[in-house]
Chain A
Amino acid sequence: MTTNVVISGFKRTAFQPAKKGAFAKMRSDDLAAAVLKDLVKSSGLKASDVEDVMLGCAFPEAEQGFNVARLVVNLSELPISVGGVTVNRFCGSSMSTIHFAAGQIMAGAGDVYIAGGLESMTRVPMTGFNPMPNPKLAADYPQAYIGMGETAENLANKYKIDRKSQDEFAVKSHEKAAAAAKAGKFKDEITPVETADGVVDSDGTIRPDTTMEGLAGLKPAFDEKGSVTAGTSSPLTDGAAACIVCSEDYAKKNNLEILARIRGMAVSGCEAEIMGIGPVQASKKALERAGLKLSDMDVIELNEAFAAQSLAVIEEMGIDQSKLNLDGGAIALGHPLGVSGVRITCKAASIMKREGKKYALATMCIGGGQGIATVLEAV
């Protein structure tokens, strides 16, 4: 790559369960604005240097409508000269904002970007308010609109992933997240948010008391004969996140703390009915572009849309689970669709830095049949 691009500074709100969580009455643009203000302040970034704010959102309508990224620029009181663009690639939305920002920097179109995402799954439903599928496509290729739960069932069947392994995976995710929370490992990344009921600064999604017995009692959520339950799916979640993407030169010149250098990026389409397998091809492409192998990776963040989906990817790629999702994954932390990409990419970067490792991979699946991946390198 011509220009080295780095990720510097990462902030997110606490993740709160949709509808019953502490952000049920918060607009997601306000959440994003709180994160951006904190990010600028804590990093010491000179706001007027920012070229553009790119925010991912999977259902950019209603309170997340208009061009919400530009409105978040206004809400966070960034200089009027800063641009704003909303990006939608469903679950991959905000990882794409990192890629797009990096691409722009490499193309010489600016030095500093803010990449992030926002999603209130409480206030904008997962189908949007007016789902209107194309009847012709629905007839010819119905899986284009397939429900996510069904894709997880398909992978469970294809890879023969039984209920017990899924439950074990979910318990582990909660254990890791609970341990990380207890050890204060989320403290630096979380922006405290003022709500009507007080300040919210810890994740409301983690259930440290999750047990195999408890999970075993749950009924299948999507297919009565299937194996995927609410307990082995990522919960509907409200939240926002953002990071600084800039040239390595700029970061060094301005004394910004560097989390990681971006070494490889890729997206790849796959069959919609097994969208969860998307990370396999995307990771392969990103690693190739970085000139690295999976075995070179010290830290891996794989978004846990579903336990069945994660286990299928793990098996297909041969991922060493001791490197995986060390601070817990989306099953425990939650999956605000347009936000998770920035969270896992920056999580991979910060774990790598914290543990003194060299390479990291962040990858995730995307509804409709895609995968996206980023390869990072310590600086």
Chain B
Amino acid sequence: MTKGIKKVCVIGSGVMGSGIAAQVANAGHDVLLLDIVPKDAENRNMLAEGAIAKMLKTDPAPLMHKRNAKRITPGNVEDDLEKIKDCDWIIEVVLENLDIKKSLYEKLEKHRTDGTYVSSNTSSIPLEQLVEGRSADFTKNFMITHFFNPPRYLRLLELVTGDKTDPKAVSVVRDFCDRKLGKGVVVCHDTPGFIANRIGAFWLQAGVNEAFDLGLSVEEADAVMSRPVGIPKTGVFGLIDLVGLDLMPHLSKSLLSNLPKSDAYHAIYKEYDLINKLIETGYTGRKGKGGFYRLNTEGGQRVKESIGLVTGEYEESKKAKPAAVDAAKDGGIRALVTHDDKTGQYAWNVLSQMLSYAASLVGEIADNVYDIDRAMKLGYNFKKGPFELIDEMGAGWFAEQLKSHNMDVPEIVTKAGAADGFYKVEDGQKKYFGRDGKYHDIPRDDGVILLEDIKLTTKPVKKNSSAALWDIGDGVLCLEFCGKMNALDDKVMFMIYEAIGQIGDGSGDYKALVVYNEGSNFSVGANLGLALFALNVGMYEAVDGLVQLGQDAYKTLKYAPFPVVSAPSGMALGGGCEILLHSDAVQAHAETYTGLVEVGVGLIPGWGGCKEMLKRHHKFGKFKGPMAHVSAAFEQIGLAKVAKSADEARDMMILLKDDEITMNRDRLLADAKAKALELAKDYGAPEPAEIPLPGPTAQVALNMAVADLNKSGKATDYDVVVSKALANVLSGGDKADMTEPLTEDRILELEAEEFKGLIRNKGTVKRIEHMMETGKPLRN
């Protein structure tokens, strides 16, 4: 019998260990977190207990909800090892030292139940050495599961198995990591640094070397080696600051000692006095006094500074505008790497080395290019993996460039260049170029449905510049937002009506709707740029019309005779949150950040958000009474509260009891579709609610509370204006009385009225302008 995984033990409560334990707890599983007993410790569990306490304070939070900390039981490896008999999976996250690990495994053998999975989070020790001397059952159930920091947020999990690992054990652990921990599991070969750190460390080293050699500032280097090539904005130096300057030598040393001398990493590896000096003086990066960048707060001001690679002194940071980056705006990545100045050279030098290195490792570190690309994307947040980058330049073109620079051309680049590149789409199927010179289907995990794949085989049912409808099979239609930032506008509303028309009463081709997209954010709300333009030219009626259109569209969607399931991931703010509130169910990715944030731009929710929050707090709120739901909705909307996970969105009643959470981003659409089909079985549209609201007394109470906040400096003068509008809506208006419940339509009217008043106020326009310019709310 293969064992399922319920309870997990994590041994080692450092940054990685506690992060892994937190993610297991986030998945709803109990965790035993063990660490050593420090010498002379009075509290023998002090390390694990300290780690749990720290989890609750760390930002970004490793826990998706504070209560998850209760699922983690602290202990120590001297007194509590016998408790591992009840655990189904033991994850070892102790020091990178073979002897320490081996002696721990020996102790584990005494207490673990047969069939218990054991894995190591090692990043450098070969699996074969780890299992040396272990029993057959231990060896059979042992593998390497290499997480990335922070484990909640970085999706990559590198999985390494040995010859003797039982495939059934691998499948159970892999499935748990995929479905429960939400990981993108990439199978790696048992080689030093596996995939991501092997290539990542090489890339960082090349990035540092070339910046020194070419005499670039860190800003210039980072401006080139980031967004223009689909790499996070931290670039090279910013990323080292984030990871910690002091951690880099550990990574390098472990790679150097394990890689053969012939490996290219040995050739480019270099230590810099400047960096060593920074580490010695406590400039270890963001966690220390600063690193390549720092915030200088001397003299009371916060000045961003960076270190001069030549001078070794901090100077005020200057925003770099490299010419090569400008060139790339029109000419793409080819223009970037061929631009004739040192920033162009930098792009070429770093990328050509990194991409060649990656290409030279296909087969050695992983089976194929797809796995390597996936690892870099999930582990280093690259938008494109190395081979996708080569394809963007053209594999043949890249091979020629290498040749003209007198660089070796890896065989697979030559071959892919002669064929159709590393990836191509054939018969609606995306394929990668294999080592055998043939194209192979991109593998997808069982049950994964991606819009990305569907788009290759079908045309949209309908599409405009802001939204599209896709047939995702089995009678389910998918509404995708596809405008800039997935902003919502009139075209999205038209598409909602289109969906309602297509599905009709559900007896035709379609019977359910899923609202889903694969952008990094579900939607950040209404298109403010458009609204601001209209307001600046005095076209108030145009904005009024959009409010009406949105209210009507969401309302019609809600009461349509078919089920609607919204499936958000990333930010779902403002209007993006309101569509969740008007769906029959929400299937949310665990990493969903949602809330009604309209007051930040001087507005109130105008597409039914006020109405829905009142209704939800009235029906399901913790406290009862004529004011309880009003106060709860007022606090939530008035403070623009945003849930920092799907689980937190439950506390805010944006997700309700029957709504569900998907841990793995790739499984979101499949789960949402299944939910929609389930609801379609016996569907009846909901009945509109009536909500008792107290009227003027509530306005007085809420306005008094805001006046106090204003006086104490916690609310600005314009906050008072916006809050007053919000209070009027949430109280039910001047004529409401608690004995006569209000219809949903009446509350929608109030929303629209107050919204119209606010857009005609200069304070609101100033807030919108400021948000558009700076991305931050104005406190006027």
Task: Please pick, from A129, A135, A138, A223, the residue contacting B627 in the complex, using a CB distance under 8 A.
Answer: A129
Known: A132-B697, A133-B700, A133-B701. A150 touches B711 (CB 8 A): yes
A223 in contact with B700 (CB, 8 Å): no
**Could you tell me the distance in whole angstroms from the C-beta of B750 to the nearest C-beta in chain A?**
17
Considering only CB atoms, which chain B residue lies closest to A139 in the complex?
A: B700
Docked complex Cα distance between A6 and B671 (Å): 74
B696 in contact (CB, < 8 A) = yes
**Could you tell me the distance in whole angstroms from the C-beta of B218 to the nearest C-beta in chain A?**
37
A147 in contact (CB, < 8 A) = yes
**Could you tell me the distance in whole angstroms from the C-beta of A362 to the nearest C-beta in chain B?**
30
A63-119 residues at the B interface, CB under 8 angstroms: none
Q: Tell me what chain A mostly uses at the interface: helix, strand, loop, or mixed.
A: loop
Interface centre among B628, B631, B696, B711 (most CB of A within 10 A): B711
Docked complex Cα distance between A221 and B628 (Å): 25
Task: Report chain B residues within 8 Å CB of A147.
Answer: 704, 708
Known: A130-B625, A130-B626. A223 touches B701 (CB 8 A): no
Task: Please pick, from A130, A133, A219, A222, the residue contacting B711 in the complex, using a CB distance under 8 A.
Answer: A222
Task: Report chain A residues within 8 Å CB of B631.
Answer: 130-131
Known: A220-B712, A224-B713. A133 touches B627 (CB 8 A): no
Known: A129-B623, A130-B625, A130-B627. A138 touches B708 (CB 8 A): no
Q: Mark A41-74, 1 if CB is under 8 A from B, else 0.
A: 0000000000000000000000000000000000
Task: Report chain B residues within 8 Å CB of A145.
Answer: 700, 704
Task: Please pick, from A127, A129, A132, A219, the residue contacting B694 in the complex, using a CB distance under 8 A.
Answer: A132
Task: Report chain A residues within 8 Å CB of B711.
Answer: 150, 222-224
A131 in contact with B708 (CB, 8 Å): no
B625 in contact with A135 (CB, 8 Å): no
A138 in contact with B700 (CB, 8 Å): yes
B245 in contact (CB, < 8 A) = no
Docked complex Cα distance between A132 and B731 (Å): 11
A133 in contact with B704 (CB, 8 Å): yes
Considering only CB atoms, which chain A residue lies closest to B698 in the complex?
A: A132
Interface centre among A130, A219, A220, A224 (most CB of B within 10 A): A130
B626 in contact with A135 (CB, 8 Å): no
Task: Report chain B residues within 8 Å CB of A295.
Answer: none
Task: Report chain B residues within 8 Å CB of A134.
Answer: 697, 700
A223 in contact with B712 (CB, 8 Å): yes
The count of chain A contact residues (Cβ–Cβ below 8 Å) is 19
B675-716 residues at the A interface, CB under 8 angstroms: 694, 696-701, 704, 708, 711-713
Docked complex Cα distance between A131 and B700 (Å): 9
B627 in contact with A224 (CB, 8 Å): no
B712 in contact with A133 (CB, 8 Å): no
Task: Report chain A residues within 8 Å CB of B623.
Answer: 129
B624-662 residues at the A interface, CB under 8 angstroms: 625-628, 631
B712 in contact with A224 (CB, 8 Å): yes
Known: A129-B625, A130-B625, A132-B626. A222 touches B697 (CB 8 A): no
Task: Please pick, from B628, B694, B708, the residue contacting A222 in the complex, using a CB distance under 8 A.
Answer: B708
Q: Mark B263-277, 1 if CB is under 8 A from A, else 0.
A: 000000000000000
Interface centre among B623, B711, B712 (most CB of A within 10 A): B712
**Could you tell me the distance in whole angstroms from the C-beta of A308 to the nearest C-beta in chain B?**
15
Considering only CB atoms, which chain B residue lies closest to A145 in the complex?
A: B704
Task: Report chain A residues within 8 Å CB of B701.
Answer: 127, 131-133
Considering only CB atoms, which chain A residue lies closest to B699 in the complex?
A: A135
B712 in contact with A131 (CB, 8 Å): no
**Could you tell me the distance in whole angstroms from the C-beta of B623 to the nearest C-beta in chain A?**
5
Docked complex Cα distance between A223 and B696 (Å): 26
Task: Report chain A residues within 8 Å CB of B699.
Answer: 135
The interface of chain A, by Cβ under 8 A from chain B, is 127, 129-135, 138, 145, 147, 149-150, 219-224
Besides A129-B623, A130-B628, A132-B627, 15 new A-B residue pairs in contact (Cβ under 8 A), listed by A number: A130-B627, A131-B627, A131-B631, A132-B698, A132-B701, A134-B697, A134-B700, A147-B704, A149-B712, A150-B711, A219-B713, A222-B711, A222-B712, A223-B712, A224-B713
> Mind listing 19 A-B residue pairs with CB under 8 Å?
A129-B625, A130-B625, A130-B631, A131-B631, A132-B627, A132-B697, A132-B701, A133-B697, A134-B700, A135-B697, A135-B699, A145-B700, A145-B704, A147-B708, A149-B712, A150-B708, A222-B708, A222-B711, A224-B713
